[in-house]
Amino acid sequence: MKKVMFVCKRNSCRSQMAEGFAKTLGQGQIEVTSSGLEASRVHPTAIKVMEEIGINITEQTSDPLSDFKAEDYDAVISLCGCGVNLPQEWVLRDIFEDWELEDPDGKPIETFHRVRDEIKARVESLISKLSKLS
C-alpha cells in the first residue's frame, strides 16, 4: 500500500482537509499522514467544512514534519508552496508535488469551500496516479 504525506506550513487547514479526503476516498488503497513545518491545531472552520460533506477530521492531529521519516513515504504533497523549505529527502520521493493552494485561514467560509473542493479534485487525481504505480 502506497504511503502519502501531506505537508503544509502549520498543518491546520489545507493538509488536514487533504488527509481527510485521502483517508475517505483512498480507503484501503493508500495510507495517509499530514504534518506541518511547525505544528499547530486542526482549524475549527476546516473541521466544519469537511463535516458539511460528511467527512469527520476531529480525530486528526497537527504534527511537525520532524516527527516522521521521508523514506517511509512514497508520495509527498506540499499544499502551500512550502516545498522549497522542505528537507531534500522529502522532495526526492517517488512522487513530489507542490499544489500551492490559497491559505483559507482568516478568510470567509466561501474561501474554505473553494479550497476544500480544489483539494478534493487533486486528491482524487493523486489516488488515481498512485493506483497506477502499484
Residues with a known catalytic role: 8, 80
Q: Give strand pairing partners of 36.
A: 8, 64
How many C-beta atoms surround the C-beta of residue 115 within 10 A? Answer: 22
How many C-beta atoms surround the C-beta of residue 111 within 10 A? Answer: 17
CA separation for the pair 30, 129 (Å, rounded): 11
Compute, in degrees rounded to 10, the torsion defined by CA atoms 13, 18, 24, 26. -170
CA separation for the pair 120, 25 (Å, rounded): 9
